[in-house]
Amino acid sequence: MKIAPAVASLVLLLAVAGCDKKEPASAPPAATSAAVTKSAVPAPAEPAPPSAGHKRLTIAQAKATFLIDAPLEKIKGEVPDGKGFIDLDTADLSRSKGSVSLRLSSLSTSTFADADKNASQTDHARNWLEVGKAASADARAKHEWATFTLKSVSVATPKLADVKEEAGARAFDAKLSGSLSVHGVAADKTFTVKVVVKGPPDAPTEVSLSTSEPWALSLKEHAIAPRDGVGSLLAGALEKIGKKIEDKVQVSLVATAK
């Protein structure tokens, strides 16, 4: 029996969304879900040496968690593989610089209790970002990393030594502004973080950052949209499944540099 084009399109859209709890999962379990080989894609370029007066600390751990709070489904997951650096100016914290990158092929979803459904949805999400098994090697290399480059810092107490020390650490709020590049599209971004600095004020040994509240990432702004089994863009698909996929993704970030 021949299926009408409109019906076939609807079936494809629902498969891409990976959200129908009644359908059996077609993807392998999470443990065998396709992942991009790390050696196949280049890492972000090494940064230039720190400027005079800056103390460089290297990102030891970084993770972003996300939530798409759509009317019919709450899609959630994480991107746990990160790298980067923080150049801390302890005499004037507002002059600090840095960069944090997250490997998008490490993205996984945890929307369902069923591991197979999470694996299927994870594969769809990676394909939307063009870092999954449906993407070409060139596309993966281009879109593998999401990077926030810090351009300015706003703090109430610029000198680290003037921040009150408690239990061997100095904690303060900071407003970070910079450029966020995701899926080949850069956009200005400003968000507030809680900063905790350990070690002597003139020679810190560890800096931890955590977003004070989730910030919004727009799928449309960064050209992230449903793609079919061979990676081709499905025009208008995001609008058609809008009750399951919201444009705004709520993102939280934690990172530690040493």
Give per-residue pLDDT as tens, 68-116.
Answer: 998 878 999 999 999 999 999 999 999 999 999 999 999 999 999 999 9
Cβ(207)–Cβ(244) below 8 Å: no
**What's the structural domain count of the chain?**
1
Within a domain: 46: no
Within a domain: 252: yes
Cβ(75)–Cβ(68) below 8 Å: yes
d(CA 114, CA 21): 9
d(CA 163, CA 197): 10
* Six-digit token string for 187: 């956009």
d(CA 77, CA 122): 9
Within a domain: 35: no
User: What's the CATH number where 113 sits?
Assistant: 2.40.128.110
pLDDT for 57 beyond 70 = yes
Q: Which of 99, 67, 60, 61 minimizes the C-alpha distance to 80? A: 61
pLDDT at 20: 41
pLDDT at 46: 65
pTM: 0.77
Within a domain: 120: yes
Within a domain: 174: yes
pLDDT for 28 beyond 50 = no
**Beta-ladder partners of 198:** 169, 206
Cβ(138)–Cβ(130) below 8 Å: no
User: The domain containing residue 236 runs over which residues?
Assistant: 5-26+53-257
Within a domain: 48: no
Cβ(76)–Cβ(42) below 8 Å: no
